[in-house]
Amino acid sequence: MDGLDSAVAILAGAIRAGTPLVFAALGELVTEKSGVLNLGVEGMMLIGAVAGFITTVATGDPYLGILAAMIAGAALSLVFGFLSLTLLTNQVATGLALTIFGIGLSAFLGINYVGTPINGLKPLAIPLLSDIPVLGPVLFTHDVLIYASFFLIATVSILLYRTRAGLILRAVGESHAAAHAIGYPVVLIRYLAVMFGGACAGLAGAYLSLVYTPQWAENMTAGRGWIALALVVFATWQPGRVMAGAYLFGGITIMGLHVQALGFEISSHLVATLPYLATIVVLAVISRDATKIRLNAPASLGTPFHPAA
Amino acid sequence: MQLRLEPRAVTSSAMQYASPLIAAGMTVIAGVLLFGALGTDPISALYMFFIRPLTSVYGVSEWLLKATPLLLCALGLMVGFRANVWNIGAEGQLTFGAICGGGVALAFWGNEGVWTLPLMLVAGALGGMAWGAIPAFLKNHFNANEILTSLMLTYVAVQVLGYLVHGPWRSPEGFNFPETRMFGDAAQLTPLVDGTRLHSGIFIALLALAAVWIFLSKSFLGFKVSVAGQAPAAAAYAGFSRKGIVWLSLLLSGALAGLAGIIEVAGTIQQLQSVISPGYGFAAIIVAFLGRLHPFGILMASLLMSLMYLGGESLQMNLNLPLAVTGVFQGLLLFFVLGSDVLIRYRVRLVRDDERKAGA
């Protein structure tokens, strides 16, 4: 029974550690499906984390914090949108700029909040469902945001593949010229997709600063935004696989801690390299099949669109 | 009213030079607004940021000191960026170079000779090169995106450094601080001017600048790099090896970043610590773009970026503003650089609504 208990703890922990990745990667997936590559996920997450934290400190209400984080993430993504969609700048460089700016601005805004304690979001066990053996404690004893992430995965899958709006979004991402010729507002659709990605990244940041480790620290995302970008490739742009990948990475993140807790003498620094090394390995394995990547990646990903050109 | 971009028939050469200046000017304007919003007198803040650091010999020496790693890293990145190879892990390559070169200094601690410093520099460059070789290998043989792999390796390198200075390499006399022994005298780049920290690393960086400039402008391989970036189809048709370009870009930028790392620890810090760079490897990305991917542009840009680091410190000391202001300015600068570059390829026009309808 002890083994089962710790397995349940590991699985539940993997879901918690993977949830910020779910949010950020789902948002980026939608952005990329519209043909836009936004490498600014890390920066938008940090802005979301700091905005959510400050709002929660100011109002005492973590739900307002979550809302503020989404708004802040979306607002920052608009900067990326204006540069890359309106001014047609290089998307790779602009995304990098967004991350650098987000790291700087979040550190600047959060300077007086380092070490401030807050009441983070509390877990909320779902009655009846949480009583199911094994599955109950793994899936249904979490905080509201994790349930929201389950809901978001389902919503994004349905929206993308079962609705007309999703079809248009994917058409824009596959061939902006064709979508433009049919009369779809390519740039507007891309703006919306970018903002959705920004809001999701902000939410991911809020999850970190309000739930996962309820505090603000400079650079607290620690590369999760980049891991989320790798996850989208890993998932070959499919929402369901994003979830699987995110929990896998969540599992790797907490695995090190469990190994240490078992009494193995491993440097915490070396344990901390695991998620990054895993990302590299997984990315290499998945990308190896170049044809598969080409078939699944939106065809006009990363290319600017100018109606007159 | 609507903003409309009209493609230029030929790229504007005037704008090639003007756009970095426009970007720098807009960053200053943004700075005025930012300081105003913070309730700080913008004029004195700008003075503290841009002028004050350069009013003393020590200030100027620090300016050149901080420009050194930026220049080295950005020169390497430039070669890759020209060929659309996106190494954004210069920070990691810098760190790993510092680890390898610093390891040499520690291995021969107490037995140094005139050979120690050259050996450290070589080890640093090779270490950075090895760290850059990983994304190149993964890109060429596994099709893995070099942006993501090079960045992930940055986190790995920083953690490895943390492990070493907290563990096996921690100084026996260091009262448990996470740092190694001070390097021996013969393993240090000593100050050029008494009372400053400026060391001969700046000359190494200038040599690298000359070498990279000659390589790009005079060698056939350098020509291939530019063609690979500007006209990939032509490069493929001419039979230029894409894999070769990827190897070249990442090995060269890795080596230069590694050199920057060992120069930083052998000269400026003189030991290994858990943090050895305030993000030089990332700031170098901005430097490369601000310098318009040209060696001499990058020289200017690295001086400006170095001044921004000093300016941030000056604001912190004199006006009690947080050091993070530097990061905000860096991000803004890159936004403005990228935004201004649009003027090179497009003419911007404001179109009135009635005109739009007439045109439609």
Q: Does the distance separating the beta carbons of A87 and B342 come in below 8 Å?
A: yes
Question: CA B57 to CA B165: how far, in whole Å?
Answer: 33
**Is A76 a residue whose pLDDT tops 50?**
yes
Q: Does the distance separating the beta carbons of A226 and B285 come in below 8 Å?
A: no
Closest chain B C-alpha to A38 CA, distance in angstroms:
12
Question: CA B279 to CA A121: how far, in whole Å?
Answer: 33
Q: How confident is the model at residue A44 (pLDDT cuts 50, 70, 90)?
A: very high
Q: Is residue B84 part of a domain?
A: yes
> What residues of chain A lie within 8 A of the CB of B346, using their CB?
88
Structural domain count, chain B: 1
Q: Is residue B56 part of a domain?
A: no
Residue A308, pLDDT score: 66
Stretch A138-161: mean pLDDT: 88
Stretch A241-246: mean pLDDT: 92
Closest chain B C-alpha to A79 CA, distance in angstroms:
9
Q: How confident is the model at residue B353 (pLDDT cuts 50, 70, 90)?
A: low
Q: Does the distance separating the beta carbons of B151 and A283 come in below 8 Å?
A: no
Q: What is the mean pLDDT of chain B?
A: 89
**Is B72 a residue whose pLDDT tops 50?**
yes
Quick: pLDDT tens for B268-295: 999 999 999 988 999 999 899 889 899 9
Q: Is residue B116 part of a domain?
A: yes
Does B101 or A255 have the greater pLDDT score? B101
Please state the separation of Cα B166 from the chain's center in Å. Answer: 27
Which of B8, B26, B159, B274 to mutate to probe the A interface, most A CBs <10 Å?
B159
Q: ∠ CA B99-B104-B109 to the nearest 5 degrees? A: 120
Stretch B350-360: mean pLDDT: 61
State the helix-helix crossing angle for A224-234 and A274-287, rounded to 10 degrees.
Answer: 30
Residue of B nearest to A225 (CA): B148
Question: CA A96 to CA A104: how far, in whole Å?
Answer: 12
B206-226 CB burial, b ≥16 within 10 A, e <16: eebbeebbebbeeeeebebbb
Place of tokens 């450094």: B161
The model carries a pTM of 0.90
Q: How many CA atoms lie within 13 A of B20 on its CB side?
A: 20
Q: What is the mean pLDDT of chain A?
A: 89
> What residues of chain B lie within 8 A of the CB of A88, using their CB?
5, 342, 345-346
Please tell me what DSSP assigns to residue A163: S
Stretch A44-70: mean pLDDT: 94
Place of tokens 């001014």: A87
Residue A1, pLDDT score: 46
Residue of B nearest to A222 (CA): B155
Architecture per CATH, domain A2-296, reads as: Orthogonal Bundle (1.10)
Which of A46, A87, A98 to mutate to probe the B interface, most B CBs <10 Å?
A87
Q: How confident is the model at residue A64 (pLDDT cuts 50, 70, 90)?
A: very high
Question: CA A245 to CA A231: how far, in whole Å?
Answer: 6
Q: How confident is the model at residue B252 (pLDDT cuts 50, 70, 90)?
A: very high
Domain that holds residue B252: 67-296
Residue A292, pLDDT score: 81
Q: Does the distance separating the beta carbons of B282 and A105 come in below 8 Å?
A: no
Stretch B330-355: mean pLDDT: 81
Residue B358, pLDDT score: 55
Task: Please classify residue A179 by burial: count the beta carbons closer than 10 Å to its beta carbon, then call 0-12 exposed, 13-18 middle and 19+ buried.
Answer: buried
Question: CA A217 to CA A211: how far, in whole Å?
Answer: 14
Q: How confident is the model at residue A293 (pLDDT cuts 50, 70, 90)?
A: confident
Q: How confident is the model at residue B126 (pLDDT cuts 50, 70, 90)?
A: very high
Q: Could you write out the three-class secondary structure of chain B? A: CEEEEEECCCCCHHHHHHHHHHHHHHHHHHHHHHHHHCCCCHHHHHHHHHHHHHCCHHHHHHHHHHHHHHHHHHHHHHHHHHCCCCCCCHHHHHHHHHHHHHHHHHHCCCCCCCCHHHHHHHHHHHHHHHHHHHHHHHHHHHCCCHHHHHHHHHHHHHHHHHHHHHCCCCCCCCCCCCECCCCCHHHCCCECCCCCCCECHHHHHHHHHHHHHHHHHHCHHHHHHHHHHHCHHHHHHCCCCHHHHHHHHHHHHHHHHHHHHHHHHHHHHCCCECCCCCCHHHHHHHHHHHCCCCHHHHHHHHHHHHHHHHHHHHHHHHHCCCCCHHHHHHHHHHHHHHHHHHHHHEEEEEECHHHHHHHC
Question: CA B35 to CA B25: how far, in whole Å?
Answer: 15
**Is A309 a residue whose pLDDT tops 70?**
no
Quick: pLDDT tens for A102-116: 999 999 899 888 888
Quick: pLDDT tens for A219-239: 899 999 999 999 998 888 999
Residues B235/B92, Cβ–Cβ less than 8 Å: no
> What residues of chain A lie within 8 A of the CB of B327, using their CB?
100-101, 103-105, 107-108
In angstroms, what CA-CA distances link A143 with A56, A124, A161, A305, B346? 16, 5, 28, 41, 50
In chain A, domain spans: 2-296
**Is B138 a residue whose pLDDT tops 80?**
yes
Q: How confident is the model at residue B227 (pLDDT cuts 50, 70, 90)?
A: confident
* Token pair for B57: 């010999």
> What residues of chain B lie within 8 A of the CB of A280, using their CB?
134, 138, 144, 148-149, 152-153
**Is B228 a residue whose pLDDT tops 90?**
no
